[in-house]
């Protein structure tokens, strides 16, 4: 599932082989699995001109990235007023939104996709820059 916020990004970036921040320029939704809930598959492209690499190296030839997540499902409602079932809205990758992408061994497959606002992205870049320079003050 698409995660949100700098805390989630700072949790997953150090565990990744490759990590970067960039805006999504194209999302193509693929076929969903027939499980319950379904697993949705996407092919995502990022803006290489605005990309900030945090770990590893992203080559210009790395254009299409695969991403999958649990899809929309139905869960029991927990509110006593509205007993029954309700649909769960799952955040999906969105064009022109800013994300941190974390990858491991497979350099085409995104393990964690974390939506950020510009302030969170700037804070992450500043924190990681301080750590790489040997300065641990925050």
Number of domains in the chain: 1
> Residue 64: which of 118, 117, 3, 107 has the closest Cα?
107
Q: Check residue 132 and give its pLDDT.
A: 66
Segments in the chain forming alpha helices (H):
6-12, 118-132
Residue-wise pLDDT tens digits, 28-85: 998 888 877 788 999 999 999 999 999 999 999 999 999 999 876 555 445 545 555 5
Q: Check residue 77 and give its pLDDT.
A: 47
Of residues 34 and 131, the one with the higher pLDDT is: 34
Residue 137 lies in a domain: no
12: CATH: 2.40.50
Q: How far is CA 55 from CA 1, 19, 21, 49, 71, in A?
A: 22, 5, 10, 17, 29
Residue 126 lies in a domain: yes
Of residues 87 and 15, the one with the higher pLDDT is: 15
Residue-wise pLDDT tens digits, 93-114: 999 999 999 999 889 999 999 9
Residue 35 lies in a domain: yes
Give the pLDDT band of residue 89 (cuts 50, 70, 90).
Answer: confident
Report the DSSP pairing between strands 18-29 and 52-55. Answer: antiparallel
Q: How many residues does the chain have?
A: 138
Q: Check residue 135 and give its pLDDT.
A: 52
What the block records as the tokens of 90 is 């799952």
Residue 84 lies in a domain: yes
Q: How far is CA 50 from CA 25, 47, 79, 82, 99, in A?
A: 11, 6, 43, 45, 12
Range of the domain at 36: 3-132
């Amino acid at each position: 599932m698409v995660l949100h916020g700098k805390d989630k990004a700072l949790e997953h970036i150090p565990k990744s082989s490759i990590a970067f921040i960039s805006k999504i320029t194209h999302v193509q939704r693929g076929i969903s699995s027939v499980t319950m809930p379904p697993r949705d598959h996407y092919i995502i492209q990022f803006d290489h001109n605005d990309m900030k690499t945090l770990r590893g190296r992203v080559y210009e030839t790395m254009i299409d990235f695969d991403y999958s997540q649990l899809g929309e499902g139905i869960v029991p409602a927990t509110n006593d007023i509205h007993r029954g079932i309700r649909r769960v809205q799952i955040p999906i990758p969105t064009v022109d939104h800013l994300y941190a992408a974390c990858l491991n061994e497979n350099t085409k497959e995104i393990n964690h996709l974390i939506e950020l606002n510009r302030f969170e992205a700037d804070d992450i870049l500043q924190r990681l820059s301080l750590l790489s320079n040997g300065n641990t003050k925050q």
